[in-house]
Amino acid sequence: MRRGLTASLTLLVCAALPLAAARAERGVSSLATSLARMRSEVEALSAKVESKKNEQRARLRSLSAQKAELEIQIKREQLRLRQLAKRRAAHEARVKARNERRQQLTPLVPRLGATLSSAIASTLPFKRDERVQAVTAIVERAHKKLVAADVAIAQLWERLEDELRLGRESGLYSQEITLEGKRHLVEVARVGMVMLLFRTRDGRHGVLTRDARGRFAATVIEDKPSQKQIAALFDAFKKQIRSGFFTLPPSALATPKRGAR
């Protein structure tokens, strides 16, 4: 009976072994599949992590480059600001020096204006009021600080050059003179600043000369030959003839009897 039981158990074990082996094989296969899947997932995650690391490294490199560029720009701006500060300081120094010079020049303006006005007053009475007024206007603008002292002096110098130019030029003009106690608008022929001849609307000719007291007076030239000589000068000036030989009467330099302004 024991032998029969043993034989039965042996047969049962032999029958169960293939089943256990099959189950074990299926378990191993399932485990291998799981391991392969997990390995694939790990590799995918590892690749993602490495990609993120690469992105972070690239971003850090970009940020580092931007930082370096910004630092360079900051240094450039700092240098520019220092240069601007130097230029500003130099400009302020120049402005201060210029203002100091202007302060020193300020008292000269009225003195120069007075000297020039006095010189004009002693010349031929050719638009003299206008010439003096031009000088006075410059001095007044400087006094009211509408122009700087150096600018005013430059303008006075220009007026002086205008006065010198009058002495080199000749021409025909219109202006008022006092003749026989009345104001008349006449045509004048200016010969530099040494002679001022006039012609009235009614055809009379004359000259403005200085009297013994230094005042200018208008005198009508009466003799016909002298009138023709003066008329010839007026005609030449009208034809734009400014140079040449002109005969003028000696009476053009005679001492007048009446004053002119």
What would the pLDDT profile of 49-60 be if each residue is shown by its tens digit? 888 888 888 888
Could you read off the pLDDT of 180-196 as tens digits, one per residue? 888 999 999 998 888 89
Comparison of pLDDT for 231 and 15, the residue scoring more: 231
pTM: 0.60
Joined tokens for residue 141: 């603008």
Q: What is the dihedral of CA 147, 151, 155, 160, to 10 degrees?
A: 140
Mean pLDDT over 149-176 rounds to 93
**Residue 139: what residue type?**
V
Over the chain, what is the mean pLDDT? 84
State residue 14's pLDDT score: 57
State residue 130's pLDDT score: 94
Select, from the ranges 42-56, 133-147, 190-204, the one with the highest average predicted confidence (pLDDT): 133-147
8 pLDDT band (50/70/90 cuts)?
A: low
Joined tokens for residue 2: 């024991």
**Residue 150: what residue type?**
D
Rounded CA gap, 209 and 196, in Å? 8
